Amino acid sequence: MEKLIITAAISGAEVTKEHNPAVPYTIEECVREAGLAYEAGASIIHLHVRTDDGTPTQDKNRFKEVMDAIKEKYPEVIIQPSTGGAVGMTNDERLEPTELNPEMATLDCGTLNFGGDEIFENTENTIKYFGERMIERNIKPELEVFDKSMIDMALRLHKKGFIKAPMHFNFVMGVNGGISGTLRDFVFLRESIPSDATYCVAGIGRFEFSLAAASIIDGGHVRVGLEDNTYISKGVLTKSNGELVEKVVRIAKELGREIATPAEARVILGLSKK
To the nearest whole number, what is the mean pLDDT of the chain? 96
Mean pLDDT of 16-31: 98
Residue 94 lies in a domain: yes
Quote the CA–CA distance of 8 and 39 in Å, as a whole number: 11
Quote the CA–CA distance of 228 and 175 in Å, as a whole number: 9
**How high is the pLDDT of residue 85?**
84
pLDDT level of residue 16 (50, 70, 90 thresholds): very high
Quote the CA–CA distance of 17 and 90 in Å, as a whole number: 26
With CA atoms as reference, report the closest residue to 106 among 177, 50, 45.
45
Range of the domain at 216: 6-269
**How high is the pLDDT of residue 273?**
57
Q: Structural domain tally of the chain?
A: 1
113 forms beta bridges with 119
* Count of helices and strands (H, E) across the chain: 9, 14
Radius of gyration of the chain (CA): 17
Per cent of the chain over pLDDT 70 is: 99
Quick: pLDDT tens for 36-70.
999 999 999 999 999 999 999 999 999 999 999 99
**How high is the pLDDT of residue 72?**
98
Residue 1 lies in a domain: no
* pLDDT exceeds 60 at position 158: yes
Residue 143 lies in a domain: yes
pLDDT level of residue 117 (50, 70, 90 thresholds): confident
Buried b (16+ CB within 10 A) or exposed e, 26-46: ebebbbbbbbbbbebbbbbbb
Interstrand relation of 56-57 and 49-50 (parallel, antiparallel or unpaired)? antiparallel
170 forms beta bridges with 144, 200
* pLDDT exceeds 70 at position 274: no
Query: pTM for this one?
Result: 0.97
Residue 274 lies in a domain: no
CATH number, position 92: 3.20.20.70
